[in-house]
Amino acid sequence: MAADEVVPHVGIRSHAGIVRLGMTRAEVQPLLDRDRDIRVDFRGDPPVVAFVESPKHWGSFEDIDLFEAGADEVITGIASRLGLDPAVYRPGRHQYYFPELCMGLWRSCVSDEDGEQGFTFDSVNIHAPGYYDPDLLAFIRRQAGLPPE
């Protein structure tokens, strides 16, 4: 795992270390203390990390820099690399969801002007399978322009 890599189904590495899905509160807390920008959510009994979100300070996915290039360029690159339908993963959206990866990209607004808010993504997240309630997952899929499951 590279120093800034987002690895679906595994975790996200920041300068603090690797925040992995499945970590306990005790395991992840020292990392969160060192990187307050990383957000996590827990599920289960005992609770383990089921969701990890990182802000736009850093992050790559399969050698695609998620926050340096424009969001539309990032989506085009991911869709091409993964063989995804470019009509579904078309530029200009606020949110993109990749069901097979349990990964999402989000930006608060959309702009095609370099340097403006909305030109790059604001965050990336990964989650464990089953993290989202089925109704919420259906909503996320609709918002992302994906067909129903």
- Long-range contacts at 23-27 (CB < 8 A, ≥ 24 apart): 23/48, 23/49, 24/48, 24/49
Nearest in space to 20 (alpha carbons), one of 30, 7, 34, 10: 10
Q: How far apart are CA 61 and CA 124, in angstroms?
A: 10
Q: How far apart are CA 83 and CA 81, in angstroms?
A: 6
Mean pLDDT over each residue of the chain, to the nearest integer? 91
Rg of the chain over all Cα atoms, to the nearest angstrom: 15
Binned at pLDDT 50, 70 and 90, residue 1 comes out as: very low
Instruction: Give residue 39's domain range.
Output: 6-143
Domain count, the chain: 1
Q: By three-state DSSP, how is residue 39 classified?
A: strand
| Global confidence as pTM | 0.90
Binned at pLDDT 50, 70 and 90, residue 3 comes out as: low
Average pLDDT over residues 13-23: 90
12 within domain boundaries: yes
Q: How far apart are CA 97 and CA 103, in angstroms?
A: 6
149 within domain boundaries: no
47 within domain boundaries: yes
| In contact, 121 and 71? CB cutoff 8 Å | yes
Average pLDDT over residues 95-116: 93
148 within domain boundaries: no
Taking CA atoms, 106 is separated from 1, 47, 142, 146, in Å, by 23, 26, 14, 15
Binned at pLDDT 50, 70 and 90, residue 27 comes out as: very high
87 within domain boundaries: yes
Alpha-carbon dihedral angle through residues 114, 127, 138, 105, given to the nearest 10 degrees: 0
Instruction: Give the rounded percent of residues in the chain with a pLDDT score beyond 90.
Output: 71
92 within domain boundaries: yes
1 within domain boundaries: no
DSSP 101-140: TTEEEE-SS---STTSTTSS-SEEEEE-TT-S-HHHHHHH
19 within domain boundaries: yes
